[in-house]
Amino acid sequence: MRILVTGGAGYIGSHTALELLAKQHDICILDNFRNSSPECLRRIEKLSGHHFSQITADVSDSEAMEGHLDAYRPDAVIHFAGLKAVGESAEKPVEYYDVNVSGTINLLRAMDRSGCRKIIFSSSATVYGRPEYLPFDENHPCAPENVYGRTKHMAEKIIQDWQGARSDSSAVLLRYFNPVGAHDSAEIGEDPTDTPNNLLPYVSQVAIGRRDRVSIFGADYETRDGTGMRDYIHVVDLARAHVAALELADRHQGTETINVGTGAGHTVREMIDAFSRASGRDIPYVVTDRRPGDIATSIADPSKAYKLMGWKAERTLDEMCTSTWAWQQRNPNGFRGPGHSNPTKNDVRQG
Ligand code: NAD
Ligand code: UFG
C-alpha cells in the first residue's frame, strides 16, 4: 500500500515507519519537525535500507496538504502529526485546536480530493478522563479533563462523521495508553526537546546524570504503593498495532475505536525500580505534591484489539526499560548532534 504517515519523524511515527517498511509498504513521511528532527528520517532509511518520500509541511496549511495528497495519492493515511503536551495545551489552547482539530479537518479534505478512504488516527487514553470503572474499555464514557484530551476527542468525532458519510471508507481510532521504550537498534527513540513531561524519559535523564532526581507526583493515591499506576506499552508493540490496524482498515468498512495497551499496570515506584535494575544506576527521587489533573490509575482493557486485529502487546517491562536505557546511552543528546539542520517549510523530496 501507499501510506502517508503524518508526524512520521516523531517518536511513535518513526517506529511505525520502520515496521511499515519492513512489510514492504511504500511510505511518505510528512512532518514539520516541530517536535522532531530530520536526522530521525536519515536513521529510518539507514536501518530499513529503503528510501521513501519525505515532505516538510504543516498539517495546518490546508492548501499545501491538498497539493501533497494530490501528488502522492496515498491508499491510506496514518495521522500522528499533532501536539501532545497536556500542560502546554492549557496555555496554548487555540494552537492545540488548530493543529490537532483543524489539522485533521485539512487532512480529511485533502483525502477526499485525492480519493483516499482509509485513516488510522493517533488518539489517547486521556479521552476517557476520570475512570468510572477499570480497566477502561472502549465503551467507557469519554470526559476528557484537559484541552489536549478534548482536541483528541473532537478529532475522533470528526473522523467518525467523515467515515459515516462515505460507505466505502474505513477509520481506526487507536487510543494509546503510555508508550515507552525504543527501537532494538538504539538508533531511534523518544527525544524530548525540553524538560520531559513524561515519567520514563525523565527517569532516564536522571539515570544518565542530566537531572538530579525524579519527583514522584504524589504517594497518597489508592494504588498498591500510593503512587500513580499506568499501562505502559513498548513503542515497538504500539508500532505493530498500526500495521494491524492498517490491515483491518483494508478489509473492513466502518469506524473502529480500539485501545492499545497491555492490560497491566505499574506504579511510579515500580517504574523507577525497574529502570534502576535495567541501567544498573541509582535513581534518586523525592515525593512531591500530586500533579493537577492526574488520576490514580489508568489501565486498558486491550481485548478488542486482539479480537478485531489479532494484535496483543508482547514486550515486557524490562524490555521497555533496557531499550530506553540503550537509546539514552547511545544518544545522550537525542538526535541533536553535529550536522543537525532545520529544513524550510514545504520542502519536498520524493523518494
Ligand atoms: P511526537 O511529538 O514525537 O510526534 C509528533 C510529530 O508530529 C512530530 O514529528 C512533530 O514534529 C509533528 N508535528 C507536530 N505538529 C505538526 C504540524 N502542525 N504539521 C506537521 N507535523 C507536525 O509525538 P508522539 O509521541 O510520537 O505522538 C504521536 C501522536 O500520538 C500524537 O498525535 C500524540 O498526540 C499521540 N499520542 C501520544 C502519546 C504519547 O504518550 N506519546 C499518547 C497518546 C497519544
Ligand atoms: N509522574 C511522576 N513524575 C514525573 C512524571 C510523571 O511521578 O516526573 C507520574 C504521573 O503522576 C503519573 C505517571 O508518572 O502517575 C505517568 O505520568 P506521564 O506523564 O508519563 O503519563 P500520563 O499518564 O500522565 O500521560 C501520558 C501522556 C498523555 C497521554 C496519556 C495516555 O502524557 O499525553 O499518557 O496515553 F494522553
User: Is residue 148 annotated as part of the catalytic site, yes or no?
Assistant: yes
Q: How many CB atoms lie within 10 A of CB 206?
A: 21
**Percentage of the chain exceeding pLDDT 90:** 92
Pairing of strands 297-298, 170-176: unpaired
Candidates 97, 148, 176, 202; catalytic one:
148
Residue 194's pLDDT is 84
pLDDT tens profile 95-146: 999 999 999 999 999 999 999 999 999 999 999 999 999 999 999 999 999 9
Nearest CA to ligand 1 atom 19: 58
266-314 pLDDT per residue, tens: 999 999 999 999 999 999 999 999 999 899 999 999 999 999 999 999 9
Residue ranges of domains in the chain: 2-180+233-260
Residue 58 CA to residue 244 CA, distance in Å, equals 27
CA angle 276, 280, 282 (to 5 degrees): 55
Cell, residue 343 = 529544513
End-to-end CA distance of the chain: 15
Whether the pLDDT of residue 345 is over 90: the answer is no
Burial of 339 (0-12, 13-18, 19+ CB in 10 A): exposed
Report yes or no: 200 and 275 within 8 Å, Cβ to Cβ.
yes
- The predicted pLDDT at position 337 comes to 64
Pocket residues for ligand 2 (CB within 6 Å)?
84, 86, 124-126, 176-178, 197-199, 202, 214-217, 228, 230, 268, 291, 294, 298
Ligand 1: atom nearest CA of 14 is 26
Specify the pLDDT at position 193. Answer: 81
> Which stretches within 165-292 are classed as H helix?
199-207, 235-251, 268-279
Cα–Cα distance measured from residue 52 to residue 54, given in angstroms and rounded to the nearest whole number: 6
* Residue of 5, 6, 29, 36 to mutate, ligand 1, most atoms within 8 A of C-beta: 36
Distance from C-alpha of 303 to C-alpha of 138, rounded to nearest angstrom: 10
DSSP characters over 262-322: -S--EEHHHHHHHHHHHHT----EEEEPPPTT--SEE-B--HHHHHHH-------HHHHHH
Report DSSP letters for 137-149, one per residue.
-TTSPP---SHHH
Distance of alpha carbon 86 from the chain centroid:
14
The pLDDT > 70 percentage for the chain reads 96
What are the counts of helices (DSSP H) followed by strands (DSSP E) for the chain?
12, 15
Nearest ligand (C-alpha, residue 300): 2
Cα distance between residue 330 and residue 94, in whole Å: 37
Specify the pTM: 0.96
Structure-derived torsion over alpha carbons of residues 71, 50, 201, 143, reported in degrees to the nearest 10: 40
| Alpha carbon nearest to ligand 2 atom 14, residue | 199
Nearest residue (CA) to ligand 2, atom 15: 228
Q: Are 257 and 301 in contact (CB under 8 A)?
A: no
Fold of 2-180+233-260: Rossmann fold (3.40.50)
